Amino acid sequence: MTMGTDAAWYVVHTQVNGEAKAARNLVQQGFEIYLPSYLKRRSHARKIKEVVAPLFPRYLFVRIDMATQRWRSIQSTLGVCHLVANGQDPTPVSRDVLSLLKSREDQSGLIKMDRVPQFSLGDKVRVLAGAFADSLGLYDGANDRDRVAILLDFLGRKVRVSLDADAVAAA
Query: What does the DSSP assignment read for 105-151?
Result: B-TTSPBPPP------TT-EEEE-SSTTTT-EEEEEEESSSSEEEEE
Residues 96 and 130 in one domain: no
Rounded CA gap, 83 and 10, in Å?
A: 7
Q: Is the pLDDT of residue 92 over 70?
A: yes
User: Does residue 44 sit in helix, strand or coil?
Assistant: strand
The mean per-residue pLDDT over the stretch 57-65 comes to: 95
Amino acid at 116: V
Q: What is the pLDDT of residue 43?
A: 66
Q: How far apart are CA 79 and CA 82, in angstroms?
A: 9
Q: Does residue 17 contact residue 9 with C-beta atoms inside 8 Å?
A: no
Residues 12, 83 within the same domain: yes
Residue 126 CA: distances (Å) to CA of 93, 111, 137, 142: 37, 27, 6, 15
Task: Give the domain extent around 152.
Answer: 124-170
DSSP string, 58-103: TEEEEEE-TTTS-GGGGGGSTTEEEE-EETTEEPEEPHHHHHHHHH
Is residue 129 in some structural domain?
yes
Q: Indicate which CATH number applies to the domain containing 145.
A: 2.30.30.30
Q: Are residues 31 and 73 in the same domain?
A: yes
Q: What is the CATH number of the domain that holds 36?
A: 3.30.70.940
pLDDT at site 51? 87
Among 6-20, 47-61, 153-167, which is the least confidently predicted range? 153-167
113 within some domain: no
Q: Are residues 92 and 26 in the same domain?
A: yes
Domain assignment of residue 116, yes or no: no
Residue 127 CA to residue 97 CA, distance in Å, equals 34
Q: Which helix (H) or strand (E) holds 49?
A: strand 47-54
Residue 24 or residue 3, greater confidence:
24
Percent of the chain whose predicted confidence (pLDDT) is above 90: 51
**19, 71: one domain:** yes
What are 110-128's pLDDT values in tens digits?
988 766 567 888 999 998 8
Top-confidence residue, 105 or 112? 105
Q: For the whole prediction, is pTM greater than 0.75?
A: no
Alpha-carbon span 43 to 140, nearest angstrom = 23
In this predicted model, what pLDDT tens digit does every residue of 14-52 receive, in sequence order?
999 999 999 999 999 999 999 999 888 776 776 778 889
Q: How many domains does the chain have?
A: 2
How many residues are there in the chain? Answer: 171
